[in-house]
Amino acid sequence: MYRVEGNIISSEIASYLAPPVRQLLLGLDEQYCNRMEEIRLRCQQPLLLKLGDRDFTITPSGRPATDLYSGYIVTREDIQRSLASISDNSLYAFEEEIKRGYITIPGGHRVGLAGQVVVHNGEIKTLKNFSSLCFRIAREVHDCALPLIPYIAPRGVPVSSLLISPPRCGKTTLLRDLARILSTGRANLPARNVTVIDERSELAGCYLGIPQLDVGSRTDVLDGCPKAEGMMMAIRSLSPQVVITDEIGRAEDVAAISECLNAGVVVIASIHARNVKELENRPLMQDLMKMRAFRSGITLSRRIHPGNIEETIRWQA
């Protein structure tokens, strides 16, 4: 499923890693770099690289290995020096991002943070004493969502649709490409105004508010915005014809989706579940079905490749 333009690891990721880790990554064969999904640095644990469903490490001599405990052991200094590069030596400037648990770097790649959580009056204030970093590598795959178009836009008209899948099955990549396709338009599919509500900065991969990934020429992005609030903001000020958002799951999301539908806006969203049966047992989905929010459902897996379509559902209007 993945189509990679150049070596993203060397061109966009390596400069943010501590020098010892950087040198190990730059010495890897491109067959590893082009399939890499995550780079995990955990203090006093082996460097871990996730390639599809398999975990690898790199030995201190630079060889890839499946025996994790033969790998290079990440030090606290590696964590600190990587953080200094990510934050340009000013963690204070990223206070809000750190509170959310991640920092987005140029290219749309997201660095997840773990460490000591500071809580005051029941609210998370910040993280400190960082113990691990997770570099999630953003890859856009143009036209990967084309197989979904007959279900999401039958006869060239988008309908409210739900992508259903467990984690790591490609739904974020597919939603990103759907935004691009619907915003740009194609033969027999007129272009629409699209708003992407990107609560976790994954769909558009914004850096300083600017999308780093291609979400289309008629797409507005509300980056880091809670889904329910973002849907209401979009209706009030951006005149979307289609709203796209990832991982709905709260009662307030249901109310906001209802407002979108009442305003004539199509909603395309994703939700975590293994299948439709599991989903339909949840109170949230029962509420959505009562209001007939979605016309089309698509369940995904990575049985053959990420984004594999397992089942399609047509719900009654």
Q: Is position 204 within any domain?
A: yes
- Closest alpha carbon to 288 in 260, 310, 309: 260
Question: Contact, 232 vs 186, CB < 8 A?
Answer: no
Q: Is-contact 135 38, C-beta < 8 A?
A: yes
Report the chain's mean pLDDT, rounded to a whole number.
Answer: 93
What is the arithmetic mean of pLDDT over 177-201?
96
The yes-or-no verdict on residue 48 having pLDDT over 70 is: yes
* Percent of all residues in the chain with a pLDDT value above 70, rounded to a whole number: 98
Question: For residue 92, what is the domain's CATH number?
Answer: 3.30.450
Q: Do both 105 and 161 map to the same domain?
A: no
Question: At residue 151, does pLDDT exceed 60?
Answer: yes
- Residues 223, 201 share a domain: yes
Distance of alpha carbon 193 from its chain centroid, rounded?
A: 21
Across the beta sheet with 109-120, what order do the strands follow? 64-65, 54-58, 48-51, 36-42, 123-136, 109-120, 102-105
Q: Are residues 115 and 172 in the same domain?
A: no
Average pLDDT over residues 218-226: 96
pLDDT score for 44:
98
79 shares a domain with 18: yes
Specify the number of domains making up the chain. 2
pLDDT at 6: 59
Q: How far apart are CA 23 and CA 311, in angstroms?
A: 44
This prediction's pTM: 0.88
Domain boundaries, position 261: 146-314
- pLDDT for 139: 85
pLDDT for res 101: 94
Give the tokens for residue 143.
């036209």
Q: Is residue 228 part of a domain?
A: yes
Q: What's the rounded Cα separation, in Å, for the pair 261 and 162?
A: 14
What percentage of the chain exceeds 90 in pLDDT?
A: 81
Alpha helices in the chain (DSSP H): 8, 19-26, 30-33, 76-86, 95-100, 149-152, 171-184, 227-237, 251-262, 276-280, 283-290
